[in-house]
Amino acid sequence: MKLHLVMAFSLMTLFTYSQNEVSLNPCGTSTDIEADKFLTKFFDGELNYKIVEDIIWVPMTSHLVYPEEGKPNFDEVNILKALCHLNENFSEVGIQFYHSSFEYIFNDDYYDHGFSDGIQMMNENNIFGTANSYFVLSPAGNCGYYAPSGGAVAMAFSCSGAFDDTWAHEMGHYFSLPHTFRGWEGEDYVNNGQKAPTFVNNRKVELAEDDPDCQISGDKFCDTPADYLSFRWTCNNNGLSSVLQLDPDSIAFRSDGSYFMSYANSSCMNQFSPLQMEAMVANLQSTKSSQIDADYEFVNVNTEETILVAPSQDEIITSPSTTLSWEETGNATHYQVEVSRFPGFNFLNVKVYTTDLSLLVSNLQPDKTYYWRVTPFGDSDFCTEKTEEKSFTTQFTPVSIDDFLSDNFEIHPNPSTDLLTIKWGGNAKFNINFMNIYGQIVSSKKQVENGTSILHDLSAGIYLIEVSNEDKRVTKRIIVQ
């Protein structure tokens, strides 16, 4: 069985992104001419589609876009949790997404990209017959966007949280929906006591009450209220904007933040309008029918059927590493494993995604109690619970890294290209593991003698070198150029 080796002292903090570092615009979706034409046909009754009782299943390909070096603190589990929320947001629509595959792209130009690179990324990597979403650090400085010419959605890690509605908003664009404030993109509405103009950016401005032209004004949807706010806004307790707007007839109104296609905060949003839902179903059936999987059926994951097997409760572990294993009989296909020194899991030593039923954890500290638990996910059941937690205790003689370090431990050159020399005091032989930054062993050498030059074929990047024998162990960071 394939095992992932994981450092108990997680490295993920080395390569985190911070939500505070980048200030993102809510959405970078530009005017979609095809969608506009589609909606004209939709409202003119020129489309053939049928409203079906059953759920329409769409396979979702999630592309994880990483830098060429380092790994950000965003992984498959973030996407599985976001899929839970996306399906909740689309449950009324009658469209649901199932996980088709994770695809991995290591490219600095795509990780933090401008629109032209983003569209190129999509055209190079889209998987036909599925909806495609790309998760990146910065999608052209936005929380997300849908690119009609790329045929896919790009999402920022920091806007893809388990309760963030950005993905639902972008998938709304994907299925032809414009912003509720259509026409006002790039225009700052300012309430200076003046009524709004009749047209903005060549689009008729929607009236606040009984607009006879609502099918050609604003977002063209007569069942979404007028909205002129093209910047991120916070709603009041009634879900409305604090900004008072004056329509072209001088009627005052506040925007309704409950619509996913507005720019209200996620906490305000909870709905697509009935006509928006119908338009999305019509768009899927008439322009994206290859993405409908008529044979797919929901597979429920029963978390209670995931049993933590080993170590058993309160087991004493007598080495710095142990294999966690669990049994699954409830249709799960993905797992998140968490290990913590604290029963509340406030600080995690390990947080790892795996599709295996076991995980090797290393670098455990002696005489400590560790708590662990597993969250199973399915391919269409993403809103799952964690298992009960178990704990084990370590008891072994600590390895004195200080002794070893003071023992004239040397690695040179560092950075290196292909040849390394490791020196230590004394004549004892050591085993050497090279690990990537995910903590996975990529290369090993057994019974290495002091001062031996080691030829490695590691590609450029950052690695950890672990040198150990029965009673000594030390891990150092090395750079390969």
Report which secondary-structure segment, H or E, holds 77: helix 76-90
Measured from the CB of residue 159, what is the shortest distance to Zn ion in angstroms?
11
Window 96-125: contact mask with Zn ion (x via CB under 5 A): ------------------------------
Residue 117 CB, shortest distance to Zn ion, in Å, is 20
> What tokens does 309 get?
């097997």
Q: Supply the minimum distance, in Å, between the C-beta of residue 179 and Zn ion.
A: 5
Task: Please give the residue whose beta carbon sits closest to Zn ion in the complex.
Answer: 27
**Contacting range for Zn ion; rule: CB under 5 A; set: 4-12, 20-28, 51-59, 324-332:** 20-28
Of 224 and 322, which has the nearer Cβ to Zn ion? 224
> What tokens were used for 225?
């209220």
Task: Answer whether 155's CB lies under 8 Å from 144's CB.
Answer: yes
Candidates 22-30, 113-121, 299-307, 342-350: pick the segment binding Zn ion (CB under 5 A). 22-30
Q: In this structure, what are the phi and psi dihedrals at residue 77, rounded to the nearest 5 degrees?
A: -65, -35
Query: Considering the complex, what minimum distance in angstroms separates the CB of residue 146 from Zn ion?
Result: 7
Pick out residues in 461-480 that bind Zn ion (CB under 5 A): none
Of 153 and 361, CB closest to Zn ion: 153
Binding residues for Zn ion, how many (CB under 5 A)? 2
Nearer to Zn ion, 38 or 370 (CB): 38
- Least separation in angstroms between residue 223's CB and Zn ion is 19
3-state class (DSSP) for residue 116? helix
Query: Closest distance between Zn ion and the C-beta of residue 65, in Å?
Result: 20
User: Cα 187–189–194 angle (5° rounding)?
Assistant: 125
Q: Please, which residue, 29 or 363, has the CB nearer to Zn ion?
A: 29
Nearer residue to Zn ion within complex by CB, 29 or 245: 29
Map the footprint of Zn ion across residues 25-84, applying CB under 5 A: 27, 29
SS3 420: strand
Between β-strands 473-480 and 461-468, what pairing exists: parallel, antiparallel or unpaired?
antiparallel
Q: Which residues of 224-250 are buried (b: 16+ CB within 10 A; e: fewer)?
A: bbbbbbbeebebeeebbbeeebbbbee
Give the nearest distance from C-beta 144 to Zn ion in angstroms: 8
Whole-number Å distance between alpha carbons of 369 and 324: 14
Q: Which is nearer to Zn ion, 59 or 139 (CB)?
A: 139
Question: In the complex, what is the shortest distance from the CB of residue 71 to Zn ion, in angstroms, rounded to a whole number?
Answer: 29
Please give the distance of CA 25 from its chain centroid, rounded to a whole number: 18
CB neighbour list of residue 63: distance below 8 Å, 6 or more residues apart: 102, 103, 104, 105, 125, 132, 133, 134, 135
Q: Which stretch binds Zn ion (CB under 5 A): 19-27, 148-156, 319-327, 360-368?
A: 19-27
Shortest Å, Cβ 172 to Zn ion: 8
Give the SS3 label for residue 287: helix
Residue 180 as a binder of Zn ion (CB under 5 A): the answer is: no
- Going from the C-alpha of 438 to that of each of 78, 366, 442, the distances in angstroms are 17, 23, 10
- Residue the block writes with tokens 């509605």: 165
Q: In the complex, which residues of this chain contact Zn ion (CB under 5 A)?
A: 27, 29
